[in-house]
Chains A and B, each alone.
Chain A
Amino acid sequence: MFECKAISLSRSGRQIIGPVDLKVEPGELLALIGPNGAGKSTLLALMAGLVKADSGSVLFRGAAFNRNPASSEFFARNRAFMPQFHTLSFDFTVEEVVALGRSPYHGRCRHGEHQKVIRRAMEMAEVSALADVNYTRLSGGQQARVQFARVIAQLDCGQAAEATAGKCLLLDEPTASLDIRHQHALMSSVKTLTANGLSCVAVLHDINLAARYADRIAILEAGRLLAIGTPDSVLAEPLLEKAFDVPVRVLRGVLPGQCLVACGPEDATGPCTTQQPAFGKPPAAQDTEAHRLGFG
């Protein structure tokens, strides 16, 4: 359905990505995790067609992206990408920003239909109450939710409940600036969409969020796939320790149907209590980076 075939990319002589083989099925939510600088965002940019791979190909329904207008339009309606950072600095209202996602459907939908899709997307991202507010005056988290509504509106062809079926959503750290409630609200929305046949690839920093929602998790390290599979199979201590270079405990049985990953002291071997904080980045992430770059 949506697949990367042996894609690789190098910049100034350094191999950044790959070769990576990856396949996402309709209805599937794939989480990309990995340490800083592992190439998660770059891989996502390759999949979004923003960067051209040195070799290999990205195929969507068997077709590769190319620059002719028909292809651009086709991909604009079938593949949406939400970047990690947003640069919009003009005084649009929230509703207008969401409506910007509708531009690939210009002339293809009636006005009322656009309105319905926009309303639905705003409800899904819980920004309906902000519809007339100036986007630039929102907090970072609110802006992220508006952008989420925009990419949903971009994929929604407005026909029915499964309006986004067979399409692909690429999210780069969508939850980075959200509070805990909205993190889960956003991921639940994604889940609702994938349940209706959308495929989604999301770069997530929060391993527990990935564990809770993803159908499969891919661990990326130095531009290569270290492992890919169901959360249960991938979230193993040796694998995570190798990827993140930090001692890790995987706790099972704390939450129903989900394992929790926590950063633990190297010598801690005793049973963990449920009070242990389960969210947030491993505190040693920065050291890991330094070590990786050869400064450690």
Chain B
Amino acid sequence: MRGRVLWRAVALALFLAFMLVPLLATVLFSVSTRWDRTIWPEGFTLRWWQAVTARSAFQDTLLNSLAVAAATVAVSVALVTPTAYWAHLRVPRAKPWIEFLAIVPFGLPGVVLALGLIRFYSGVPLPLINRPAILVAAYVVLTLPFMYRPLVNALEAVDARTLTEAAQSLGAGSWQTLLRAILPNILPGVVNGSLLVFSTVFAEFTLANLLIGTRFKTFPIYLVEFTRFDARQASALAVISFVVAWLASVLIIWLAGRGDRPRETLAAR
């Protein structure tokens, strides 16, 4: 009996150490005066944080990343929500096709998507290549699974058909039904998907690097440049990235916890 408790404690402790040590080390490194000769930092300072956040490039790249992430979320919500709702309710035969488009990105490496987009759009007279617009389009594709899945789950959970019939018997049109009756009810799914999309796009490096490169620098590109010449200031940037990803996950977990109650009542019914 004691042996069984012991292996579990060892497994969990090793897991915890492996996952947390790199994060804590990065945080501590970013506020250390010097930490390359001794086993504990020689002193603490906020100098690296002040230096890196004072740069105009820091603010520019942060704003660029926030803008691209927000634009991707906006396009994705506007594109996927009506589609998922309409297919769920009116055109079930379209579902496998939508599902297919939402699964392909799992098997599409960033480098391959970038190559395909460049190959096709450099031969087409559209103002897309080397513009932030193509980056947003690529991100919408990349994050399609993250937006579609939670939406479908939410639609299946709220009985969209009854809601729609109720709204329409009261005289609501299709768009009115979607915006005033369905959307408020599937909002947890929309928010969940949006947060996943946002945090993925905010941290994405490959497509940003290959599709636009230095013309429109995003935060991860700035971070990678810094790792090559100033480790301390790079560590502050890495901490910011971790905090953004962490905040998004915590919000998702918190929302899921709140969402438990209505699901329980549904199951009880």
To the question of whether A and B form a pair in one complex, the answer is no
What residues make up the interface of B, taking CB atoms closer than 8 Å to A? none
